[in-house]
Structure 1
Amino acid sequence: MRVVFLLFFFLLSQFSSFGQTNRLLFKTAFGDIKVVLYDFTPKHRALILNAVKEGIYADALFNRIIDGFVVQGGEHDMDIEKRESADLLGVKPRLNPEFDERAFHKVGALGAGRDNNVLKASFLNQIYFVVGKPVSDKDLEELEHKKGIKYTDCQRDNYLKYGGQPRLDLDYTIFGEVYEGLDVLLKISKVKTDNLDYPLAQIQFELTVIE
């Protein structure tokens, strides 16, 4: 019932789905996921559009899946760490964060992964979708106090009705959201994984631009 309700909500009230310029298609064996990229996070939008153009996400995998949290894909944390550790110059390319109150960790949000760098800058080739869990007034109040932030009426209403991961707000950049195929994302979020959150069977995705 919750899935049906969420799908109904997404079809009727995705405020950001319209008026934005670019869209992406994640094609998987489970079905298609269509995403709108936010014009108000232009650097991250340009980053992933260029990555698609350059084939960086060719044969990409969803390689970290946690039900009720995220479905993550692209370059894995451990692979990034291994590659950067081997660089004698210690180069660690990142993209500075783009925080906007319209871009928050609601169900279906598309974000950029990162490590614990103090700038909260994003990895260049790692993305995640928010699957989320129920959120209460108490949760939001505690987060506001802990993080020194104030959730907008729009954010609060969305979180209380549909859940998400508000604890990640203003720590990780959100730069898009699902506008079609949320059911596919939720299905992927429930696959069996090992103790490191790798899916037991590979879940590949093909990423293309919707013209």
Structure 2
Amino acid sequence: MKKYFILLLVLAIAHAGVAQKKSKKDHLITISTQFGDMQLVLFDETPKHKANFLKLAEEGFYNGTLFHRVIDGFMIQGGDPDSKKAKPGDPLGEGDLGYTIPAEFNDKLFHKKGVIAAARDNNPQKASSASQFYLAQGKVFKEEDFAAVERRTGRPVPAAHKEVYKKIGGIPHLDQNYTVYGIVIKGLEVIDKIAQQPKDSRDRPSKDIPMKVSVKKMRKKKITKQYGYQYS
């Protein structure tokens, strides 16, 4: 019995050591468009969304998909598999991969400008689309603006979140309704450029905006040094 306990303890320590070693690296994601590149990292607090996005990106799924819905002052959306072969003017936004990702809401993760979040339909579980995502742009808020947001959502906006929304902007009424799972750490201006493009009545850009998504594993210290992103 004692030997069995020691073996379990050794295995637990070894597992912890491996986990700690892995945590020293992260995946840097680059979304490339004709308007520039955006670098992102995905949050460990949303492991299902992170793993799913990395799998699709590493398989090349996103290459050739479009930013098919853009709303200046709100967000830019992409990842619809149907957009790869869409003709000009075709309605987009209904494509899927046949499965969803369970919602992963976290009080620390909110819709400040630059986050990546999962699109979804109106399912009661608020499960996410397997592939469609959006990058938050939003607007800068004043203190008096939050009363309307809180009436709309029935939830108070945390004071710390308010300060961020007042400084860089975002979309507070979407908090805890759509899963936020990563953030742009370089290239925020690309979101603005794409959001401002001419579009049709369905918010599809008049000229296609395809993306290419690549993944590079890097040491977290290097990501911090190169992009200024601070890991918690």
The TM-score range, normalised by the shorter chain, is: 0.7 to 0.9
Q: 1:189: which partner in 2?
A: 195
1:71-99 per-position Cα deviation (integer Å, ceiling 9, x unaligned): 10011796564779xxxxxxx52111111
What code does the residue aligned with 2:52 have? Answer: L
For the pair 1:40 / 2:26, whether they are aligned, the reply is no
1:125 matches 2:165? no
Q: Secondary structure in 2 aligned to 1:204?
A: coil
- Counterpart CA distance in 2 for 1:36 and 1:81 is 26
Match of 1:56 among 46, 58, 61: 61
Alignment match, 1:88: none
The residue number in structure 1 matching 2:20 is none
Provide the C-alpha distance between the structure 1 equivalents of 2:95 and 2:38, rounded to a whole number of angstroms: 30
Counterpart in 1 of 2:72? 67
Checking the alignment, whether the CA contact within 8 Å between 1:52 and 1:207 is kept in structure 2 is yes
Distance 1:22 1:153 in 2: 31
TM-score of the pair, normalised by structure 1: 0.80
1:80 and 1:198 mapped to 2: Cα distance? Answer: 10
Is 1:99 the counterpart of 2:96 in the alignment? Answer: no
SS where residue 61 of structure 2 aligns? coil
Residue identity opposite 2:145 in structure 1: D
- Supply the distance in 2 between the matched residues of 1:161 and 1:58 (Cα, whole angstroms): 33
Matches within 5 A, 1:71-82: 71-75=76-80, 81=94
For residue 153 of structure 2, what is the aligned residue in structure 1? 147
1:23 aligns with 2:23: no
- Structure 1 residue 173 corresponds to structure 2 residue 173: no
CA–CA distance in 2 between the matches of 1:40 and 1:169? 15
Distance 2:198 2:122 in 1: 27
Residue 198 of structure 1 is matched in structure 2 by 204
Give, in angstroms, the shift of residue 189 of structure 1: 1.1
Displacement after TM superposition at 1:167 (Å): 0.7
8 Å CA contact 2:96, 2:129 repeated in 1:
no
CA-atom RMSD, angstroms? 2.2
Conserved? CA contact 2:68–2:92, under 8 Å: no
Gap change, CA 1:20 and 1:41, over 3 Å in 2 = farther
Query: Are the structure 2 counterparts of residues 83 and 167 from structure 1 closer, same or farther at C-alpha, using a change threshold of 3 Å?
Result: closer
Relative to structure 1, is the Cα distance of residues 26 and 82 closer, same or farther in structure 2, using a 3 angstrom cutoff?
closer
Q: Structure 2: which 5+ runs fail to align?
A: 1-23, 83-90, 218-232
Tell whether the 8 Å contact from 1:24 to 1:208 is kept in structure 2 after alignment: yes
Larger Rg: 2
3-state SS, counterpart of residue 21 of structure 1: strand
Counterpart of 1:164? 170
* Residue 108, structure 1, aligned to residue 114, structure 2: yes
